[in-house]
Structure 1
């Protein structure tokens, strides 16, 4: 009982730390975006985002593996098996290096072809766009290799370190925004290069901290077929859910663009931005809660795990409702205060997305518990399959 009480206190403490991180980074991010936009100009800012978006598309391949790595590290930590934890960590780093190489090959072939043949970029900015693309690939792979280290920090529930490093990263990006105006080379290339340098510095900090604080974070090349098979099997089924979510959100956006035009896309995009800001409060709570659910299952403490699921589901819903209700009631006023000019249909999109988020918030702890068991096949087939139906049904109805 005492142990459960201490764990609950840790969850509250970590949630507060993550909220502080979120609020600080949100303020820095808004301010940084404005400075970068003014320094680069609308055209270069758009090029950076769309070129970086091509690279980000490859995250579909790595996202499901990242979830698998996080689950296995947290599970072994809950079982308090240091030897297996070391094998899992080294195997995870090996997997990420392999995925990074695979994504590099795809990006340098299909990605380069798509950028130069299909993208609508002014001819005089194509050279800068290619530089941004190459630097974005490097940045993406650096962040990819950092995933196991981030997973270890979250699994150990060292949220203060996670928060401090994230805040340092945000401040680094703010410094870059101010340095653009004194760039000795093309502003866009200079910005992409400095973003890559910041990613490398953060990667080194994560690596040093984890090696210093956690015994399992000593990488050695391990090709353990048992662990690799388990993680890839888990990631394979999880890929169904990850890809279905991408099809639901990004695919839905494309369908709306085909039938309704970019103005409606803008309304939907604004709605998602507002939803992300509100949902961040629940997300940070779940980051603090998830390790405890997985560890409780691994240690066989089913009673405490079920208590966390019920309390987490209720708390997530009420927390999101607390922030959503004023927006749902005064949607137009809030949007007018934020945007001044509110695009058509934005009010309806905001309300629909917030209602959807409220329904999803109840299931978040249940999904974490399901992932903790490792038996995700049936869940991903049913839920992922239903989510994939969003795209064809949306197309048929709009047609």
Structure 2
């Protein structure tokens, strides 16, 4: 496939995913508003922290999910149909076994931890246990769904992914709106209905893949050599996935132990906003990742480097464009959005937005490493380093530091990890460090330092109002693109941007 065709495919898939994401953003915000109102701050926090506890047991699945995506995409890139069938059937077998293992481990140890170690009001413990069981059941089906989801991504059927994601979201909206009409415990009803949605969507994914991808019709199988290769990759991925898991669910559990479910609600709202904004960059990266992996499989390192540079920069710039107004006007936006704003939410939100900016730069590098399959040393060192986030956070909380300290610890550690990550990636994909720093880091840092200047002046000079919000949004829409054009892209990228804009206007 020609470079132009591959770039156009990425652009097309990105637009499809952006359209899906825009709809999802508005629906997601509305769902959170209604859900917080229906459940209340305490139950909202309980649902989040119990879901986080159950999520801890999906650590093995995270590793195997990344493994399945990588192996299926590489097999497709090689054009070897027999290998595609072999990889899919082995992946399906592994994920079915893994789903049962997660259920056993979660029921054996998670329930004990929930009852004895977590801070849950006694009168809500029964509901929390109900949520726990429903969440485990939902994860069971989610784990089995991984190979099917990976198949859709490998074939770059992003329109199908968008349709299915929106279907799932509309069903969740219907559930939230229907909660008051059941006349039962709202928390229990919500957990049970979400389980029903997960079962339904599993059936939809299975049916689509069975009809459109021949390799998915083989069912479960076991090839010892292929399974060993996949387990080896997954085993070394475990370190990185463990650090990611502990940075999310582990910190949430720490906040619960030290401060209770109300703080979990604040963290849940902040992460909800972060997640919605992350979908912008996630859509772009989801469209780019298959080409990144396939370019490595084709030994096309020149194109891989271009994708890596462009993906890192534009993910950062897109997120910065969205995050700046939210960062400055977090309090005002939260008050408009929610009827109830949990204490500390504004502070949490501002810090997690900074964390997301670092992650925008990290994700293309992570995909590049996994494309090579040479992840042992990388995962051991980077994973071990990031595993320090939770223990360090515990130490600071034990010393009496405020709740937001855990997010500051995470931010600093991720910045250090990014430097280490670049050093590991260089020899794996024949990348010169100087090129990365010149083409990516210097450019994003310059834009990052320039873009907030005018919004900061407006924020400091004007009182909180709709006028100030609109003015900050307008200023951001001007200064970020201007900064990107002046300092963030090279001449070739400017030519491509102009070319795409001309094509768009000519088509219209």
- SS of corresponding position for 1:221: coil
Could you tell me how far apart the structure 1 residues matched to 2:386 and 2:120 are? 33
Task: Please say if 1:177 is aligned against 2:171.
Answer: no
Task: Please say if 1:289 is aligned against 2:292.
Answer: no
Could you tell me how far apart the structure 2 residues matched to 1:287 and 1:176 are? 28
Task: Please say if 1:110 is aligned against 2:94.
Answer: no
In the TM superposition, 1:205-284 aligns within 5 A as 205-253=204-252, 270-284=269-283
Task: Please say if 1:6 is aligned against 2:5.
Answer: yes
Could you tell me how far apart the structure 2 residues matched to 1:187 and 1:265 are? 18
Compute the displacement of 1:358 (Å).
2.4
The answer on whether the counterparts of 2:141 and 2:198 sit within 8 Å (CA) in structure 1 is: yes
- Larger RCO, structures 1/2 (Cα 8 Å, 6+ apart): 1
Question: Please, what TM-score do these two structures have when normalized by structure 1?
Answer: 0.87
Taking a change above 3 Å as real, the CA distance of residues 349 and 139 of structure 1, as seen in their structure-2 partners, is closer
Deviates more, 1:338-347 or 1:280-289: 338-347
What is the match of residue 374 of structure 2? 375
What is the match of residue 481 of structure 2? none
What is the match of residue 325 of structure 1? 324
Deviates more, 1:10-19 or 1:150-159: 10-19
- SS of corresponding position for 2:156: coil
Could you tell me how far apart the structure 1 residues matched to 2:337 and 2:215 are? 47
Compute the displacement of 1:176 (Å).
2.4
Could you tell me how far apart the structure 1 residues matched to 2:318 and 2:271 are? 18
Taking a change above 3 Å as real, the CA distance of residues 196 and 356 of structure 1, as seen in their structure-2 partners, is closer
What is the match of residue 203 of structure 2? 204
Could you tell me how far apart the structure 1 residues matched to 2:189 and 2:346 are? 39
Segments of 5+ residues of structure 1 without an aligned counterpart are none
Could you tell me how far apart the structure 2 residues matched to 1:331 and 1:27 are? 16
Taking a change above 3 Å as real, the CA distance of residues 28 and 359 of structure 1, as seen in their structure-2 partners, is closer
Deviates more, 1:68-77 or 1:354-363: 354-363
Deviates more, 1:74-83 or 1:24-33: 24-33
Compute the displacement of 1:281 (Å).
1.1
Compute the displacement of 1:288 (Å).
0.7
Compute the displacement of 1:283 (Å).
1.2
Compute the displacement of 1:11 (Å).
0.9
What is the match of residue 132 of structure 2? 133
What is the match of residue 387 of structure 2? 388
The answer on whether the counterparts of 1:37 and 1:45 sit within 8 Å (CA) in structure 2 is: yes
Q: Deviations over 1:254-299 (max 9, x none)?
A: 6667778888766655544443333221111101100110111112
Compute the displacement of 1:178 (Å).
3.5
Deviates more, 1:361-370 or 1:329-338: 329-338
Compute the displacement of 1:202 (Å).
0.8
The answer on whether the counterparts of 2:41 and 2:265 sit within 8 Å (CA) in structure 1 is: no
Could you tell me how far apart the structure 2 residues matched to 1:359 and 1:131 are? 36
Matched residue count? 398
Could you tell me how far apart the structure 2 residues matched to 1:342 and 1:388 are? 31
Compute the displacement of 1:363 (Å).
3.0
Could you tell me how far apart the structure 1 residues matched to 2:40 and 2:304 are? 51
What is the match of residue 155 of structure 1? 154
Taking a change above 3 Å as real, the CA distance of residues 303 and 106 of structure 1, as seen in their structure-2 partners, is same
Q: Alignment RMSD, CA only?
A: 3.1
